[in-house]
Amino acid sequence: MSRNENSTNKNKNINKKRKKKKSVGFKILMGFLVLLLALMAIGGGYFYGLFAKLDNVKLDNKDLGISSDDEFSKYGNYKDIKNIALFGVDTEDGGTGRSDSMMIATIDPINNKLKVTSLMRDSYVNIEGHGMDKLNHAYAFGGPQLAIKTINENFGLNVEDFATVNFSSLPIIIDILGGLDLEINNEELQYINGYIDSLNGLEGTSAAHISNSGKQHIDGIQALAYSRIRYTSGGDFERTERHRLVLSALFEKLSATPSSSYPSILNSLVPHVQTNLTTGTILSLGTKVLGVGNGNLVQDRFPRDGNCEGTTINGIYYLSYDIDTTIKQVRDYIFNDK
């Protein structure tokens, strides 16, 4: 069977799947940004009340796989740059779930930028206690603790904090914001309506089909469908690019959202967030994020093209990569703004 025939058959089978696919990557960072952006609009007192709804957990900071300060000292004011791991997980049946998508949110006050780093979930990495496996399996094996440690050890980072958002927040927030404008190409158009039908059946919604390619105004279910498209020619690379495109559209829409809408957004979102960040830390980070204009949101993906390749091991697909080159590239991007 050809690749195109296989892709077509997969698309036809979408509506037959009875289980929910709950994870979406870009909603994670969107959720965290909403929390931070709300600070200016609604004030500390209300914000503190909302944080009672957060699922707050503690991490063992001594077991996060962070290299010594000597490894980072060459990057100057690296301690002023804040990195936060952002996870979207499939928590079906109450389990921990795999992190279907992983991003690093970097608040960089030195260069006045908010950076988004997407990590390829199929990256072939060493997971402590489990050997070589896919990056997204680390969360299922050991929750955020092991997932962060795996990221730090395999991508050369110093992440100490995280936020995880579950499946149900994305359509809610997008619909509260009045939808998004996105460009949908001809190849994506072949698949998106199958996902829309599947989600309508699972969620009891009635989102419309997308009839034409080009710029479209889409609602929450349509955005979720767009994010789940897997079978375009670019595979997971294009899927993470779609995540980043929606993220940019969300960030722009949030920047233009009246402050009166923030309480409604937050009340819908906060119950779906798990994090180790304290209320005080989030409020402090919020003041920094609010100082970064929407034009200063920059994005990248690692491993980068040219330093990785798909490989099949024991019948399973992995993305192998040059770890030393990738660590240098990640650090240069995050700490040196290259």
DSSP of 247-270: HHHHHHHHHTS-GGGHHHHHHHHG
Range of the domain at 267: 3-335
Count Cβ neighbours within 10 Å for each residue of 82-98 and write b for 16 or more, e otherwise. Answer: bbbbbbbbbbeeeebbb
The position carrying tokens 């599947």 is 198
pLDDT digit string, tens, across residues 248-303 = 787 677 767 776 776 777 777 777 778 898 877 877 777 677 666 555 778 889 99
**Integer Cα distance of 11 and 71 in angstroms:** 46
pLDDT in the model for residue 11: 45
Task: Yes or no: say if 302 and 155 are a contact pair by the CB < 8 Å rule.
Answer: yes
pLDDT in the model for residue 202: 85
The position carrying tokens 């998508």 is 101
Token pair, residue 161, equals: 């904090």
pLDDT in the model for residue 15: 41
pLDDT in the model for residue 293: 54
The predicted model scores a pTM of: 0.71
pLDDT in the model for residue 47: 59
* CA distance readout (Å), 325 to 187, 230, 267, 308, 322: 33, 28, 43, 10, 6
**Integer Cα distance of 205 and 199 in angstroms:** 8
Q: What is the CATH number of the domain that holds 87?
A: 3.40.630.190
**Integer Cα distance of 24 and 10 in angstroms:** 19
Give the 3-state secondary structure of residue 291. coil
pLDDT digit string, tens, across residues 59-86 = 999 999 998 878 888 887 888 899 999 8
Name the strand (E) or helix (H) holding 18.
none
**Integer Cα distance of 166 and 161 in angstroms:** 17
Task: Yes or no: say if 87 and 28 are a contact pair by the CB < 8 Å rule.
Answer: yes
Our count of domains for the chain comes to 1
Side-chain-facing half-sphere of 311: CA atoms under 13 Å: 12
The position carrying tokens 């698949």 is 191
Q: Give the chain's residues under pLDDT 50.
A: 2-30, 37-43, 92-94
pLDDT in the model for residue 26: 42
Q: Which residues contact 233 (CB under 8 A, 6 or more apart)?
A: 187
Of 93, 105, 91, the C-alpha closest to 139 is 91
Task: Yes or no: say if 108 and 296 are a contact pair by the CB < 8 Å rule.
Answer: no
